[in-house]
Structure 1
Amino acid sequence: MTSSLFRKFIGSDGREYRWSHRTTPGQEWTLTTGTENYLVAHFDLKPPDVRAYDVSGNTLTVHEAFIHLSVEILATLTIMRHIAQHNL
């Protein structure tokens, strides 16, 4: 894993958050708080043996205490997936 797949950002609430790639079993992307390392959200890929109808089957789970950051979480996840896809 390259260091580009571990990135920090400051949320609108002033706290530091950190995305990491494949550091937790079953989670493609994991978002934790900076210092407390508290689980905020995770993005999971659809298992290959599960059929998906008209959707990707992938899931983004945002823990309720951080729902106010949903837009930021989705935006930064999109950026992280772009970084990974293009080896930036």
Structure 2
Amino acid sequence: MRSPKGDALDPKGLVAEAYKIEGITPAECRSIFLDWALNVQGDTAAAITVLLERHSPADHPMSQVLREGLVVGERPRRRGGWRSRERP
């Protein structure tokens, strides 16, 4: 069995392999990204930035998914709770 290739930014080598797969779809890249994000240690935004610099094809689906990973979503707000159920 081969040992997984990678480094601290891409522990399993998933992102590097995604760039080698010809005809990979954005959905497949998102799946790879999720697996990568669950296994990377430290600041993911910094890791994504380095990975984008490392892998040059800007029009590759994995590059698009990585750029989407840099977008910070709005923090979820709490809705409801006991005050919303309290009756006057």
- Give TM-score scaled by structure 2 length: 0.33
Structure with more of its chain in strand, by fraction: 1
Larger Rg: 2
Structure with the bigger percentage of helix? 2
Normalization by structure 1: what TM-score? 0.33
Larger RCO (CA under 8 A, 6+ residues apart): 2
